[in-house]
Amino acid sequence: MPYSEDVEKRIQSFDTIADIVSAMKAYAGVTIRKTEQIVPNVREYEKNVLFVLSDLIVNYPDLLLMKRNREKRIIVAFGSSQGLCGAYNEKVADAVAEVIGDKDVLFVIGRRLSSSLLLRHIAFENYGDSVLSVSGIQAALEKTIVQIMDIYRKNDFYNLTFIFTSLFENKAQIAIEQILPPDINRMSAMGPDKRTPFTYLHAEVIFAKALEELLYISFYRCYAESLRSENWYRLRSMEGASESIKKHIGELSSLQKYIRQEEITEEMLEILGSGMFYR
């Protein structure tokens, strides 16, 4: 049977771990709140960009006649580089395994996701780190877009698709979205203005810039949504860890009391056995 001092050390160790878990929960909670404020605004801005594109397509239908190989596709999968987020990366990897084709080029974001894909024997040549905070989105975004556009231009790709995790009504779900070329059906459903817009620039120039803006804001949204979902998973993992730690501390505290009672009993028996009270 261990000594009460040994049990006390174990309790202190669990208390230290509990403090670390509490700090991680707080950080995850802050990140979730920040992204919750950002994501709706980004979605609204993205919607406005799509409105611009839909107006251009209705009034200048030749803009979408892109002479590219429609079978070639770039898939960008958003995961995490950090751990302790449960099945977050595994579910993204499962989605990639379902949709990836022989002619597709896979761009992976997140070291943990890359490990999950390699375990499934899914090869990829392009990789980027995930972001750790909202402030890190901008730098990662600019670097990733340069890499993606380099692949897009050189290899005559037609389709750019994102696979990421999104939160809806406090539930995480995998989203697969086609970013380029823009979804014509989605834009037509917006009910664009059929009156020809008056512009000072050529429609081709406006269309090209609008596409660039759509790519940028779509990347930003997916980074933000992925960061939000990752921390949503992590917060739940930490909540489970907190409950487990509390349970262990409670069990150890009960054990410590029991052991201490046994130690006191043994001490009393030793005192009585030594005849100390009869001197």
Helices marked H in the chain — which ranges?
4-59, 88-99, 111-119, 137-154, 184-188, 203-273
**What's the pLDDT at 274?**
63
**What's the pLDDT at 161?**
92
**What's the pLDDT at 34?**
92
Residue 83, sorted as left (phi over 0), alpha (psi -120 to 50) or beta, turns out to be: beta
**What's the pLDDT at 273?**
67
**Of the candidates 220, 80, 199, 196, the residue with the CA atom closest to the CA atom of residue 144:** 220
The identity of residue 223, as a single letter, is Y
Query: Which tokens sit at 105?
Result: 């080029």
Residue 163, sorted as left (phi over 0), alpha (psi -120 to 50) or beta, turns out to be: beta
Please report, in tens digits, the pLDDT of each residue of the chain (279 residues total): 566 677 788 888 888 888 888 888 898 899 999 999 999 999 999 888 888 887 877 777 776 655 555 567 899 999 998 888 878 999 999 999 999 988 889 999 999 999 999 999 998 888 888 999 999 999 999 888 888 888 877 766 768 899 999 998 888 999 999 888 776 666 666 555 556 666 677 777 888 888 889 889 999 999 999 999 999 999 988 888 888 888 888 888 887 787 777 777 777 777 766 655 555
Q: Walk me through the domains of the chain, giving residue ranges and CATH numbers.
A: 22-236 (3.40.1380.10)
**What's the pLDDT at 41?**
93
How many angstroms separate the Cα of 254 from the Cα of each of 3, 16, 208?
13, 19, 69
How far apart (Å, rounded) are the C-alpha atoms in residues 15 and 270?
34
Could you give the angle at the alpha carbon of 246 between the alpha carbons of 242 and 252, nearest 5°?
145
**What's the pLDDT at 238?**
87
How many angstroms separate the Cα of 143 from the Cα of each of 119, 127, 150, 158, 219?
27, 11, 11, 21, 11
